[in-house]
Amino acid sequence: MRLPAQLRKRNPDSHKGSCGHLFALGASTGLSGALCLCVKAALRSGCGLVTAGVPESLNSIFEVKLTEVMSLPLKSTAEGSLSQGAFDKIKEFSKKADALTLGCGASCNLSTRKLILKIIDQINKPQIIDADGINALSANPEVLKKRTPEALILTPHLGEFSRLVKKDILYIKKTAKELAKEFALRYNLVLVLKGRRTIVTDGKGLFENKTGNAGMATAGTGDVLTGIISSFVAQGIDLFEAAKIGVYLHGLAADIAVKDKTENCLIASDIIEYLPKAIKTMPR
């Protein structure tokens, strides 16, 4: 595994606008931390600009919580999640972004789910979909066949993938590689099937990751992975490569962190903290 050219060394004339702009949509009452972890990981992975699209009712939290990340307040539901009425503003702002990420902490509110499906269907930007974005798709996976954007990454864990393919987890574990490739090929996307040995496939090639440890079994590590992969896509890296490198670095950072933190004490933000050390160890 080698770092792509964009991550090895920056052009001396680089500026924040030339290093990728990620538009990350999600968060809801009680789940704001998920999007915070995602966008912080994206910045730490080299993204020049990151904008968090958040429910307007929660925007003040993000203004305080995030320093380097910009926030865009959007119409929210009474429950404090993104509303379907936010679509027009999202579509307009997405013109400024190089990639979108959907779902971290977004909730399963009906209006939010309709919004997510509409974004997938109608906004033509590379998209990375996680968590509640995948839950929204599980009720209507055929949206994936008629979507506007061709560039798409899904990052389900076993439970989310089970809901997508309508198979039980035990069956998925036994046939993970074949099932993952079949799904990615059918829907023309990159699938990151998270687990002890995370699988990344575009339906043709397949990568099985071997970095990582049991300390990663803690809240928020999936949101960190989404941020890392999304950052690489926004920086112009091929989707399959971005997913493979992101998964590898995510696990490698955890392997380095666990030496100091131990498996029992590792938390998701530790992976963000140790990302620079992981990147420095990779061949150039």
CATH match for 19-281 among 3.40.1190.20, 3.90.550.50, 3.90.400.10, 1.10.3720.10: 3.40.1190.20
Res 3: pLDDT: 83
Q: Low-confidence residues of the chain, pLDDT below 50? A: none
What is the model's pLDDT at position 150?
A: 74
pLDDT score, position 185 = 95
CB proximity list for 214: less than 8 A, separation 6 or greater: 263
Mean of all residue pLDDT scores within the chain: 95
Please report the pLDDT score of residue 6 as a whole number: 76
3-state secondary structure of 228: helix
Question: Residue 12's pLDDT is what?
Answer: 87
Amino acid found at 228: I
First to last CA, the chain: 9
